[in-house]
Amino acid sequence: AEQYGLTEHDRLVSHAPFHFDLSTVDLYSTFIAGASVYIFDEVEKRFPSTLSKVIEREGITTWYSVPSALMLMEEKGAMDKRDLSSLRQIFFAGEVYPLPALRKLMKRLPAVNFTNFYGPTETNVCTYYDLPGVPGEGAKSIPIGRRCPYYEVLVVDDQGASLGTGQMGEIVVIGGGVMKGYWNDENKTRSCRYQEVGNSYKTGDFGILGEDGNLLYMGRKDAQIKINGYRVELGE
């Protein structure tokens, strides 16, 4: 709420189900700022044209969702027929946003600020990247950015040693927002801690710290993928 200047004049959407960690940003940042939030029902979510219609009708200023929802809205949401001038910022997280699709949406909404949030459910948002403009055609990905001020984010090797810029390792998050543990699974909780630090989490994601201080996401240590923001274990 502070980072992105939310006020009582803002109007947000709650597109994620309440059991999905994205919803905490939709709801609690709204409460903190004294803003308003429009909560989609399950039927509305299925129709891309309804998504853009709500932005126009409700004067939405801030949108936060997985890229999949934004891609559907851009492709089939009749955005060219809507007045979307109220929209000032879009946050996305939960999966990698394919650059061709992101470029299309950013060109369609040139006055909107775009931000890439990163963070597994166990940490919620732990890094952020404000896009300075439409990614160039030569770009292969966008950074997941810098650590949020309430977290320490490390890139470590297999022995747990912190790595410097340009070296790939596992992303580790430490801070007060990390989960207390997995329900009734102390072994899994312990296995995900970094050097037995209680408020730490080994994400299982590979990353590289760039020369500019931004973190780059480099894939998974395992075969897990994301579909619509949900974790899918290919082995299962």
State phi, psi for 174 to the nearest 5 degrees. Answer: -130, 130
pLDDT, tens only, 52-85? 999 999 999 999 999 999 999 999 999 999 999 9
Distance CA 91, CA 7 (A): 16
Query: Residue 231 has what pLDDT?
Result: 85
Distance CA 90, CA 172 (A): 26
* Percentage of residues in the chain having pLDDT higher than 70: 100
Query: Residue 82 has what pLDDT?
Result: 96
Residue 228: pLDDT over 80: no
Q: Residue 146 contacts by C-beta under 8 Å, 6 or more apart in sequence?
A: 127, 128, 129, 213, 214, 215
Q: Mean per-residue pLDDT for 212-228?
A: 88
Q: Mean per-residue pLDDT for 218-223?
A: 87
How many C-beta neighbours within 10 Å does residue 130 have?
14
Query: Residue 4 has what pLDDT?
Result: 95
User: What's the pLDDT band for 176 if we cut at 50, 70, 90?
Assistant: very high
Q: Mean per-residue pLDDT for 192-216?
A: 95
Query: Residue 151 has what pLDDT?
Result: 96
User: What's the sign of the alpha-carbon dihedral 111, 87, 147, 124?
Assistant: negative
Distance CA 127, CA 173 (A): 10
User: What's the sign of the alpha-carbon dihedral 104, 110, 111, 113?
Assistant: positive
Query: Residue 192 has what pLDDT?
Result: 95
Distance CA 137, CA 49 (A): 28
